[in-house]
Amino acid sequence: MSSQLVKQYYRGNKLPHIWCPGCGHGILMRAVTQAIHNLGLDKDKVCVVSGIGCSSRAPGYMDFNTLHTTHGRALAFATGVKMARPELEVIVVTGDGDAAAIGGNHLIHAARRNINITTIVFNNNIYGMTGGQYSPTTPTGDLGTTAPYGNIDKSFDIAALAAAAGATYTARGTAYHVQQLIKLVENAIQNKGFSLVEAISICPTYYGRKNKKGSVVDMMHWLKDHAVDVKAAQKLPPEKLEGKFLIGEFKNVTEPEYTEEYQKIIDRFQKER
Amino acid sequence: MKKSNVKLMQGNEACVEGAIAAGMRFYAGYPITPSTEIAEVSAQKLPRIGGKFIQMEDEIAGIAAAIGASLAGLKSMTATSGPGFSLKQENIGYAALAEIPIVIVDVQRGGPSTGLPTAPSQGDIMQAKWGTHGDHPVIALSPSSVKETFDLTIRCFNLAEKYRTPVFLMLDEVVGHMREKIEIPDASEIEVIDRLKPAPGDKNYLPYKVEEGQIVPPMAAYGDGFRFHVTGLMHDESGFPSNSSEVAHHLMTRLMKKVEDHLDDIITYEENNIEDAEIVLLSYGGTARSAKSAMKKAREKGLKVGLFRPITIWPFPEKRVKEIAKNVKAIIVAEMNYGQLVLEVERVVKGATEVYHVGKINGEVITPDEILSKVEEVK
């Protein structure tokens, strides 16, 4: 099935991808593509936009309208694309540094507008492309090349940030829980408004090695053992959730969508003519 | 000309009128003095003609959204002033390398930093040329009147579309906020250039391949069925990244040459009394109005003074200034900064004549008398 997916949706001559052996990003990219396939979207009407970093190389491999922008700015470029052509399904692929550090302002404002863009954050808890510096999602106490004595920053909960800023759909999945992730991305694309799926990746090369997280398989097992479904978590006592993180759908509400609201203003003047 | 087309308006308003006449259908920006009216008038007018306006969260997002909309097929503009112009620089480089037509208006105010937000300046002239990192082609125009702001905004769009590059309209607070009579020409009298597009369904389309007889590659829009890739990395004709030094050299040379090889099309200037001039005033934008007045006063005193006003600032009208330099005793450059375009004049004339500077950095305009006294000093 996956080779069929590659044939249908990937730019074969651009493969193999640049990601390190064991990187979770390939799994995440496939999940996004599978979701697009499952929804039966027209390839010509999908636009995938990214910023800078490991995650942001994904659109180069994906056979859609693709835009690899500047660091942190994917959502701002995507907003222009979506405003100009609301009929396009605009999907932003970004990373934890790209979305939550340098691009944090664009993230909260795209969420606030509830513009119909689906954002998939490939969160690997580190700056991979530049060689392992701590990011806004590096857990406190962990090591990075720029946190040689342990990270003293608190880490961002990107999904909660987006929800608080006004996103109408938020969820979290992982590179281990692939079937669930595909479904979450499908739901995110179907939501008419700003959607964000935080997809937890693994970075064995930098984050894993620096923090002695073991092999790629060990890191995948860590995802399996520490992720708790949000519905199951509701029935668990707090001590059972210690050191765990939640996955699943966090928010799914309906609110006025930005490009539709703007179209209403245009229509008002069309009627006057 | 119909009487109803005669209006009294600001330079900033005329800029929006010109942009819409040129086909602007998308504006994204962020409020900043003294350019804000450009956003306000765009917000008011665009939805009425089916266009789109969006106020973004910051200056960086303003230009980013404009680039995105241009890629989706709409002629796009963003406007700003000093601090905002600084913030936009990275994405200006993106538009230059990825060859995305957009118009960027900078209504120059006193700087650096927050500086003098409501006072005029021409302190961003070198930033327009060198602001973003790396070598890149630059086209920048500077109007001296409200009517010229209208005309040059159209020209900015036409040049952006023709050469697939970001184009700057370098206004200053004087012209941006000045009110003058302007006759808006009928749409049929306005030349509008649209970007070259690939033939629908062209299976061999390569987004960065220049065919014989083309200045730039045809530009498809997202959603038109071409599924192309755009990146700020060095890229080959297919649009995909490449680390090859050969590819980088080819692309960079092509980008520089597309402007360099068409100077006669891009460069415009105005000349007054150059023929018999012994001293030439070189001035642009709002300051050129003082220079023109100084020239008239000097002529009344019997001094042979002429005026050369570059309308295209970048690329600089090098050939013509070189010619003029051979025949005059001095060139006096008047500009509201500590000495910016004067450096280009000195570079170009290479000692063929004396070059003097009349500058001001206190937020006040340069008066005709200040220029005139320099003329009397050097005559």
Cβ contact (<8 Å) for B240 and A60?
Answer: yes
CB-CB contact of B128 with B106 (8 Å): yes
> By C-alpha distance, which of A51, A58, A49 is closest to A73?
A51
- Tens digit of each residue's pLDDT (9 = 90 or more) over B308-345: 999 999 999 999 999 999 999 999 999 999 999 999 99
- Tens digit of each residue's pLDDT (9 = 90 or more) over A234-267: 999 999 999 999 999 999 999 999 999 999 999 9
% of chain B with per-residue pLDDT over 90: 99
Look at residue A2 in the predicted model and tell me its pLDDT: 64
Cβ contact (<8 Å) for B58 and A105?
Answer: yes
Question: Could you give the residue ranges of the DSSP H alpha helices within B301-362?
Answer: 318-326, 341-349
CB-nearest to A265 from B47, B69, B94 is B47
Provide the shortest C-alpha distance from residue B119 to chain A (in Å).
Answer: 30
Rounded to an integer, the average pLDDT of B121-146 is 98
B2, pLDDT greater than 60 = no
- Bond before B34 cis per omega within 30 degrees: yes
Question: Could you give the residue ranges of the DSSP H alpha helices within B32-136?
Answer: 36-45, 59-71, 82-98, 125-130
Cβ contact (<8 Å) for A84 and B68?
Answer: yes
Question: Residue A228 and residue A230: Cα distance in Å, rounded?
Answer: 6
CA angle B272, B276, B277 (to 5 degrees): 65
From the centroid of its chain, how far is CA B184?
21
Cβ contact (<8 Å) for B222 and A65?
Answer: yes
Residues of chain A contacting B68 with CB distance shorter than 8 Å: 49, 67, 76-84
**pTM exceeding the 0.80 threshold for the entire prediction:** yes
Look at residue A215 in the predicted model and tell me its pLDDT: 97
Tell me how far apart the terminal alpha carbons of chain B are, to the nearest angstrom.
Answer: 44
Output phi, psi for B164, to 5 deg.
Answer: 45, 60
Confidence of residue A3 (pLDDT cuts 50, 70, 90): confident
Supply B298's token pair.
Answer: 């000097």
Average predicted confidence (pLDDT) for chain A: 97
Number of domains chain A is built from: 1
Handedness of CA A225, A228, A232, A236 (dihedral sign): positive
- Tens digit of each residue's pLDDT (9 = 90 or more) over A125-177: 999 999 999 999 999 999 999 999 999 999 999 999 999 999 999 999 999 99
Query: CB distance from B6 to chain A under 8 Å?
Result: no
Range(s) of the domain holding residue A256: 2-272
- Tens digit of each residue's pLDDT (9 = 90 or more) over B209-231: 999 999 999 999 999 999 999 99
Distance (Å) of CA B39 to CA A186, A187, B77, B172, B351: 37, 36, 10, 16, 44
- Tens digit of each residue's pLDDT (9 = 90 or more) over B165-203: 999 999 999 999 999 999 999 999 999 999 999 999 999
Question: Residue B130 and residue B135: Cα distance in Å, rounded?
Answer: 8
Residue with tokens 């690997």: A124
Confidence of residue A1 (pLDDT cuts 50, 70, 90): low
At A135, which CATH number?
A: 3.40.50.970
Look at residue A273 in the predicted model and tell me its pLDDT: 61
- Tens digit of each residue's pLDDT (9 = 90 or more) over B227-277: 999 999 999 999 999 999 999 999 999 999 999 999 999 999 999 999 999
Question: Residue A126 and residue B185: Cα distance in Å, rounded?
Answer: 57
Look at residue B1 in the predicted model and tell me its pLDDT: 47
Query: CB distance from B91 to chain A under 8 Å?
Result: yes
Cβ contact (<8 Å) for B56 and A73?
Answer: no
Domains of chain B (ranges; CATH) run: 3-189 (3.40.50.970), 270-378 (3.40.50.920)
